[in-house]
Amino acid sequence: MYDLHVSLDALADFDEIIDVRTPMEFAEDHIPGALNAPVLNNEERELIGTMYAQESPFKATRIGAALVARNIAKHLESQFADRPRTWRPLVYCWRGGKRSGAMTSWLNMIGWPARQLRGGYKTYRRDIVQALDTLPQRFDYHVLLGPTGTGKTRLLQAIGQTGAQVLDLEALASHRGSLLGALPRQPQPSQKLFETRLIHALRRLDPTQPVFIEAESSRIGRVTLPKSLLVTFHQGRCIDLQASLDERVAFLLQDYATLFDDPENFKQQLARMIGLHSKKEIAGWQAMIDADRREALFTELLNQHYDPAYARSQDSHFSHADTALPYILHPNVTDLTEQAAMLLERLAEH
């Protein structure tokens, strides 16, 4: 067995990272940048596991070995066919056992100096969990507050374009954060994959420089923010973004336009607000969808749902909300870089 313990900081020492687990395991979470080259697919792993438990460990091992050999051969003939002689991959499976051991052995017999991650994904995941408790606390956060439609995410991205450090949680979560924030044709990551993305994003940041972040609740869609991050950025310096109602409605008409591509699904999402709003009020909003009264709908949603919810939540969550720096933003400008630069200048002055 060719095995080598690799820390998170040493992953870049390899030319490629090969995850030999099943596509289902890979989809739940994986080391960022890893290539999925399963030695058993989802159905094969389930078959072998059942055979091992219910029939015979020997039979399961024999049949499993044949399947693994066939799948490795397929990868050698396809995904790995163009790799150079000096290619140096790191291979891992669930625990650093037979699956990654088989792939690593074959790669080394061919002549590639492949290595196996001792402990596999399980060890990697343990490192991620440990980092979640401490790493988010190392940074000084500047928090963008502001009600829905003020363009917080667009401004955050523009701040990043100026060269300042940003942590875009909604990009990591593939979700805009609100009840209607699901992104078209972009499923959210699992909780584990979100945490992996978060830790790798934080590791790229400099703790000596401020990190700009958008105000979020404890959940973004279906993923939950780690407590260590919530507690720390809730204590950060706050910027209160302000925009007129007309500008905010115009912003939503652009940013949420895809909701009208599937009116029935949009109406179902609004129905989830029953309990927060009366059935009569929800029915009225759904009728606006049918009538394509977009501007009227977003105006009512802001006035009746989003703004009251925002007023109830922000002061209680952020320690320095009462001393937030007010900043008027025009979110519908094509390029917000100039407004981002002006904000950074104002922050430097105060």
Q: Which of the listed residues 83, 100, 130 is the one where a domain comes to its end?
A: 130
Q: Which of the listed residues 130, 157, 184 is the one where a domain comes to its end?
A: 130
pTM for this model (two decimals): 0.91
306 in the same domain as 193: yes
293 in the same domain as 273: yes
256 in the same domain as 166: yes
Task: Give the residue-averaged pLDDT of 326-344.
Answer: 95
Domain total of the chain: 2
237 in the same domain as 159: yes
Q: Which of the listed residues 103, 130, 157 is the one where a domain comes to its end?
A: 130
303 in the same domain as 258: yes
Q: Which domain holds residue 107?
A: 3-130
- Give which of 242, 246, 243 is closest to 296, Cα–Cα: 246
114 in the same domain as 181: no
93 in the same domain as 33: yes
Strands 223-224 and 219-220: antiparallel
320 in the same domain as 180: yes
Task: Give the residue-averaged pLDDT of 259-285.
Answer: 94
Percent pLDDT > 70 in the chain is: 96
206 in the same domain as 273: yes
Sequential DSSP letters for 235-267: TSEEEEEE--HHHHHHHHHHHTGGGGGSHHHHH
Task: Give the residue-averaged pLDDT of 308-315.
Answer: 80
218 in the same domain as 335: yes
281 in the same domain as 163: yes
* pLDDT, tens digit, 9 for 90 and up, residues 85-134: 999 999 999 998 899 999 999 999 999 999 999 889 999 999 999 999 99
What tokens does 164 get?
A: 């300042």
> How much is the pLDDT for 313?
78
- Give which of 299, 220, 294 is closest to 257, Cα–Cα: 294
* pLDDT, tens digit, 9 for 90 and up, residues 24-82: 999 999 999 999 999 999 999 999 999 999 999 999 999 999 999 999 999 999 999 99
Q: What are the DSSP E strand ranges found in 51-199? A: 89-92, 115-117, 141-145, 165-167
Mean pLDDT of all residues belonging to the chain: 93
CATH of the domain at 180: 3.40.50
> How much is the pLDDT for 26?
98
Beta carbons of 87 and 16 less than 8 angstroms apart: yes
310 in the same domain as 194: yes
Model confidence at 1, pLDDT cuts 50, 70, 90, reads very low
Model confidence at 2, pLDDT cuts 50, 70, 90, reads very low
Question: What are the catalytic residues?
Answer: 93
Task: Give the residue-averaged pLDDT of 184-207.
Answer: 95
Q: What are the DSSP E strand ranges found in 215-337? A: 219-220, 223-224, 237-242, 325-328
CATH of the domain at 36: 3.40.250.10
What tokens does 193 get?
A: 């994959």
> How much is the pLDDT for 8?
54
> How much is the pLDDT for 3?
43
